[in-house]
Amino acid sequence: MPTDSAARALSILRDPQQFQWYVIPFFALVAYVYANEIERRNWDLVFAGLAFWGMDWFNEIWNGLVFHFTQYAPVWGAPGRTAFLILIGLNIEICFMFAIAGITFAKMLPREKKARVLGIPNRLAFAITGSAFCVLVEVLLNAAGALTWDYPWWNARVPWLIFLIGYFTFFIVSFWVFDMNSLRKKAIVVGAIGALDVVSLVVFGAVLNWI
């Protein structure tokens, strides 16, 4: 039997009546961020942003599958107010945020790949710091009831999995793509992540209706 939070999320899942007009300027902002980087030929940032976004979609898909197979709760849910709930733990606002988060964090990276921060390789240091910051934001969202956790191994008292699976992999993959020495390699990796996401959405969502 679904938890109360899971049931509330299901009640608004992909309900078009939730639509709010602020979605349009949010979309325009995302489009502007990418258009700006494309205009400047900042392909490192573009692909880093897409890699980060694609990793989030992957997480949201398996999170939806967790609910399907348990019929209890997703690992995280988003039953709060939203203009559109895409998947049980992913609303349109979160989606737009992750679409540009990778670009934002990659902009902070030092140009020197081998530079160290407090003795730690800077890419690793920024991945750790960025992940810790995102976990803190999630804790605040959970406290506000906007993001729900129903499992004892995924909450503010046990933040390690949220850190490692929820965010650290996003940063590591995004920064790895950012540092690749050819556009072809970047395109292949990002294309593979995107293809996996699309196929999974079609199979588990459109065809099987599991998510």
Domain map of the chain by residue range? 4-207
Phi-psi region of 14 (alpha: psi -120 to 50; beta: other; left: phi over 0): left
pTM of the model: 0.95
Q: Are 113 and 179 spatial neighbours (Cβ–Cβ below 8 Å)?
A: yes
Token pair recorded at residue 186: 């970047």
- Encode pLDDT of 19-33 as tens digits: 999 999 999 999 999
3-class secondary-structure state, position 96: helix
**Listed residue (78, 82, 67) closest to 2, CA to CA:** 67
Give residue 118's pLDDT band: very low, low, confident or very high (50, 70, 90).
Answer: confident
**Percentage of residues in the chain with pLDDT exceeding 70?**
100
pLDDT in tens, 8-67: 999 999 999 999 999 999 999 999 999 999 999 999 999 999 999 999 999 999 999 999
pLDDT tens-digit readout, 141-165: 999 999 999 999 999 999 999 999 9
What's the CA gap between 173 and 60, in Å, rounded? 16
C-alpha–C-alpha distance, residues 185 and 177, integer Å: 8
How far is it, in rounded angstroms, from Cα 49 to Cα 189? 12
DSSP code of 17? G
